[in-house]
């Protein structure tokens, strides 16, 4: 068991690939087929291409504020790749690679950040919860979901993503407390990218790791190199198996870095140095995985060109489809919260229609 061998109280971090792309933990290295390794790499490339396109769209006024994902590709793709179709995903606002890996259409992603409610209308065949913008507010929801699964004796796991800043919220602690008490099938993935907007991790907690917080609630936690896609895959797969068997939750701290701004309304240069960013850019998760694949004769310049070209076409098509979507109607502000409108909302909707001249 991986989790049993890496003690967060001792500051031990689980890693399979070194920063140079070499296997350092052969014992735990997953035996993945070449097609799976290529699929993981393509999802990382697609995430990066879509993220770079999103920045351009935002700067051109074609999309609203969004949260960049650059540097998180290994954490997102590696963990989501370990999930089965029956497992549920409770995302936060910086999960593009996980969305892609779980199969959410890119059109939905762009629509969401363009301000369309439809962007979070999840296709019925996908087990993905909608994004909650208030930090950590989705964690109690995910645990309640897990409690319901136990009561109904359903055998699936629930993966919840959140940033390190979420661990400073009461919702985080309440959720983990209930998860520990009721042994829910939750896998909590804390994406520790070192900053909660401008607040560094060192100002949020005196704990040596974030993973050790799980121990206070009676279950296991582990710190993982979040820039190592194979480590993220292996530890998530193990935690998911444990959850499905009814053996309780796991907290995974993915130790990574946010290479871009918190959102497009942020300027990270005001609170972190160029040297720090450069240090982490040299540890780019895509670069690390590329070296690993090249050493095995899987990666090539031709493959890289093929993947970038394919990803660019996929992104361009999704943007075209999103921008061709008719503007949202005023009613959409009201209709997605309740199955039936409350009297107060009905009154407000009537007033809005009158103001807009009956639209």
The β-bridge partners of 161 are: 189
Q: Which residues are catalytic?
A: 258, 262, 271
CATH number of the domain within which 90 lies: 3.40.50.970
Q: Could you tell me if 342 and 314 lie in one domain?
A: no
The β-bridge partners of 160 are: 90, 188
| Residue given tokens 């797969």 in the structure block | 237
Q: How many CB atoms lie within 10 A of CB 330?
A: 12
Residue range(s) defining the domain that contains residue 135: 2-328
Q: Could you tell me if 173 and 264 lie in one domain?
A: yes
Q: Could you tell me if 246 and 257 lie in one domain?
A: yes
- Which pLDDT does position 199 carry in this prediction? 96
Q: Could you tell me if 202 and 103 lie in one domain?
A: yes
Q: Could you tell me if 220 and 336 lie in one domain?
A: no
Q: Could you tell me if 268 and 335 lie in one domain?
A: no
Q: Could you tell me if 144 and 105 lie in one domain?
A: yes
Q: Could you tell me if 284 and 337 lie in one domain?
A: no
**Taking Cα atoms as reference points, which of 229, 231, 221, 226 lies closest to residue 15?**
231
Pairing of strands 199-200, 195-196: antiparallel
Torsions phi, psi for 60 (to 5 deg):
-90, 0
**Taking Cα atoms as reference points, which of 256, 218, 222 lies closest to residue 239?**
222
Contacts of 313 (CB under 8 A, 6+ apart): none
- Which pLDDT does position 358 carry in this prediction? 58
Q: Could you tell me if 230 and 356 lie in one domain?
A: no
Contacts of 96 (CB under 8 A, 6+ apart): 47, 50, 51, 69, 76, 109
Task: Provide the CB-side half-sphere exposure for 164 (13 A, CA).
Answer: 27
- Which pLDDT does position 339 carry in this prediction? 87
How far, in Å, CA of 252 to CA of 20, rounded?
23
Q: How many domains does the chain have?
A: 2
How far, in Å, CA of 222 to CA of 18, rounded?
18
Q: Could you tell me if 352 and 268 lie in one domain?
A: no
How far, in Å, CA of 279 to CA of 37, rounded?
26
Q: Could you tell me if 351 and 227 lie in one domain?
A: no
Distance of CA 80 to the CA centre of its chain: 8
Q: Tokens in use for 321?
A: 């489809």
User: DSSP string of 270-295?
Assistant: GTS-HHHHHHHHTT-HHHHHHHHHHH
Q: Could you tell me if 333 and 274 lie in one domain?
A: no
> Would you write out the chain's pLDDT as a tens digit for each of its 359 residues?
899 999 999 999 999 999 999 999 999 999 999 999 999 999 999 999 999 999 999 999 999 999 999 999 999 999 999 999 999 999 999 999 999 999 999 999 999 999 998 899 999 999 999 998 899 999 999 999 999 999 999 999 999 999 999 999 999 999 999 999 999 999 999 999 999 999 999 999 999 999 999 999 999 999 999 999 999 999 999 999 999 999 999 999 999 999 999 999 999 999 999 999 999 999 999 999 999 999 999 999 999 999 999 999 999 999 999 999 998 888 888 887 888 999 999 999 999 988 887 55
pTM for this prediction = 0.95
């Amino acid at each position: 068991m991986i989790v049993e061998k890496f003690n967060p109280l001792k500051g031990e971090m689980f890693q399979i690939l070194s920063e140079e792309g070499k296997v350092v933990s052969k014992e735990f290295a997953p035996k993945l087929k070449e097609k799976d390794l290529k699929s993981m790499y393509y999802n990382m490339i697609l995430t990066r291409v879509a993220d770079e396109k999103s920045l351009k769209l935002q700067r051109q006024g074609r999309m609203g504020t969004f949260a960049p994902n650059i540097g998180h590709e290994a954490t997102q793709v590696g963990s989501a790749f370990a999930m089965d179709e029956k497992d549920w995903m409770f995302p936060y606002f910086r999960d593009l690679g996980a969305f892609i890996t779980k199969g959410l259409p890119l059109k939905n992603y762009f629509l969401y950040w363009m301000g369309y409610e439809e962007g979070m209308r999840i296709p019925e065949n996908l087990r993905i919860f909608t994004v909650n913008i208030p930090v950590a507010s989705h964690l109690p929801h995910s645990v309640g979901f897990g409690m319901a699964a136990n009561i109904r004796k359903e055998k699936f796991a629930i993966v919840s993503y959140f940033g390190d800043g979420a661990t400073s919220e009461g919702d985080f602690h309440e959720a983990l407390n209930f998860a520990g008490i009721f042994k829910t099938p939750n896998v909590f993935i804390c994406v520790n990218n070192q900053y909660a907007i401008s607040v560094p991790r060192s100002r949020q907690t005196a704990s040596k790791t974030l993973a050790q917080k799980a121990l206070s609630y009676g279950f296991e936690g582990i710190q993982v190199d979040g820039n190592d896609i194979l480590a993220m895959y292996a530890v998530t797969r193990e935690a998911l198996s444990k959850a499905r068997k009814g053996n309780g939750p796991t907290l995974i701290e993915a130790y990574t870095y946010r290479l871009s701004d918190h959102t497009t309304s942020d300027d990270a240069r005001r609170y972190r140095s160029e040297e720090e960013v450069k240090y982490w850019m040299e540890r780019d998760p895509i670069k690390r995985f590329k070296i690993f694949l090249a050493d095995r004769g899987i990666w090539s310049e031709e493959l890289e060109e093929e993947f970038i070209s394919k990803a660019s076409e996929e992104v361009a098509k999704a943007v075209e489809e999103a921008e061709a979507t008719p503007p949202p109607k005023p009613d959409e502000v009201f209709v997605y919260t309740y199955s039936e409108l409350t009297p107060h909302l009905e009154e407000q909707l009537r007033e809005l229609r009158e103001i807009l001249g009956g639209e």
